[in-house]
Amino acid sequence: MFIPSKLLLSLSLALSALAATFPAKVIYQSPTGLFLENIAVRPSSQLLLTSVLTPTLYTFDPSAENGTLDEVYTFPNATALTGIVEYKPDVYALVASTLDLNTISATPGSVAIYSVDFTGSGAPAVRQAARIPESTMTNGLSTLPGHPDVVLAADSDAGLIWEVNVRTGNVSVKFQDDALSPGAPPPALGANGVHVNKNFLYFTNSQKGTVSRVSLSGGPVELLGTAVQAGGTPDKGYDDFTFDEQGRPLVAMSAGAVQLFEQARNGTWVQTTIAGSVQGGDSDGLVGATSVAFGREEGKCSKILYVTGSAGQIAAVDTTGL
């Protein structure tokens, strides 16, 4: 039977609101409800975590019983950390700024990109790699394949993607489009998560509740999907994301879910809830999901999807069979 692609997408969205396929297990809960913003996974599968409530970078061992957040480094002249990404083996770029949580905007001139290098012995080597004085909300980070000294940074206020050379400190605009803009006054957030995969730049827009991509070689922006309960409110939108082994995006949804995006043979995109619930509520421990990242093979956790949340929780989702 022939079913129009629009109907297929509508059916998929309806199904995504049903029970999650993979249960989530909360492996850490902050006693103070520390807002966990972003996550990077070291080769050992230990987690690096940022928060918009503190300029301190934390580490967490997901294999430890009753694990705790351990301080790695506290960044000067900042109150918050947002995006983090591994741009060389066990070397990470992250965003630090002085952030006003009421407007979700950084003090002009306070946004800086730092490099944190764990390859030496002892404490990691930390250095300021670049500043983005024009930005008032630099958010998610991505690497750029073939350019080991370059990271891409989503600007949630300006509606663009910065290209940052962490070796020279040079900053320029990589991509700008209305699909990245918040489309509403502060505290609305536009572009949030950003990652490159297979010659495509993928990004989320929290205020608009969209997941999109654009070819690195140019062309129009392609809409993959919209938040099932977006409703024009940013707290129901998409946040950061990652890719599975097949290159499919898995996106944290702040309503309390992880959404899988998969392209059908006819080219349309289908989204399915794989953990939590787009209806909110308890959401299997995923309330306010902010970011997701897979464990690493060296740590024997490559099928475990770690999910951070705004209520201070870290959840583990075993995606074996996905």
How many domains are there within the chain?
1
pLDDT at position 21: 81
| Amino acid present at 204 | T
Task: Report mean pLDDT in 10-residue bins for the chain, 322 residues.
Answer: 34 40 93 97 96 98 94 98 98 98 95 98 97 97 97 97 98 97 92 97 95 96 81 65 96 93 95 88 78 86 94 95 88
- The CATH code of the domain that includes 44 is 2.120.10.30
Q: Can you tell me the distance from the alpha carbon of 135 to that of 97, in angstroms, rounded to the nearest whole number?
A: 10
pLDDT at position 297: 76
Q: 71 in helix, strand or coil?
A: strand
pLDDT at position 300: 67
Helices (H), the chain: 5-16
- Count of C-beta atoms within a 10 Å radius of residue 6: 9
pLDDT at position 16: 39
Q: 122 in helix, strand or coil?
A: coil
Q: Can you tell me the distance from the alpha carbon of 184 to that of 203, in angstroms, rounded to the nearest whole number?
A: 18
DSSP state string for 124-137: PEEEEEEE-TT-S-
pLDDT at position 285: 77
Q: 7 in helix, strand or coil?
A: helix
Tokens of 307: 């999910």
Q: Can you tell me the distance from the alpha carbon of 221 to that of 147, in angstroms, rounded to the nearest whole number?
A: 23
pLDDT at position 282: 60
pLDDT at position 10: 38
Residue 193 near residue 205, CB atoms below 8 Å = no
ω before 187 within 30° of 0 (cis)? yes
What range does the domain containing 12 cover? Answer: 5-318
